[in-house]
Amino acid sequence: MIINKSHSKQDLLDIVNTLQLKITISHGDNKKDIQDKYYDYFKNETNISYHKNVYNIADKRQLQVYLNNKTPKKVLNVKDKKVVMSICKEIINYCTHNYWLPYTKYETEKELEDDMLFIIQYGDLPSVRRCCKLMNENVMSKKKYDPIISPQVKKEIEDKNNGKIKNRYFCKFVKGPITITFE
């Protein structure tokens, strides 16, 4: 079994922590050391099933297939990220100017739509998610744009939203006689 090189050191560490694998990793280990520990784990461990997780991995075989394939996260290099961010900036500019094309570099709605279809594949970036949200708020548009988000980022967003206070009304219930006076 070969671990695909698209998996970063952090991705491998996240898998160990999420699936609670019996692999001991120190901070001094590099990616090659971690991969060697994975190989040892696959040699020694037999049929193991994992609890429900964001990777949708249920057993050892699925873990091997996941590591053998390219990572589902869209990793951008600096040049590509700069292009995506400049497109996001133009689309946000379009949205904040009441969806009016003359304030942007776009000549037609088709160019704008093509750029939106290009950037939705990078839904792990917050700017892309914001562009999709703003474009979906356009009442004149019939298209809806849903960014493609990796399961790990979805989990992070859900955890962040669950931590926020939903109800800001605080009530205190008191038992006993209560006197209300009007002036």
pTM of the model: 0.69
Would 15 be classed as within a structural domain? yes
Structural domain harbouring 137? 78-157
Residue-level pLDDT at 131: 96
Instruction: Look at residue 176 and tell me if it is in a domain.
Output: no
Looking at the fold, whether 58 and 89 belong to one and the same domain comes out as no
In a domain, 3, yes or no: no
Same domain (yes/no): 55, 95:
no
pLDDT tens-digit readout, 72-127: 777 788 999 999 999 999 999 999 999 999 989 999 999 999 999 999 999 999 99
Given a contact cutoff of 8 angstroms between Cβ atoms, the answer to whether 145 and 136 are in contact is yes
pLDDT tens for 39-56 read: 988 888 777 778 888 888
Shared domain for 62 and 122, answered yes or no, is: no
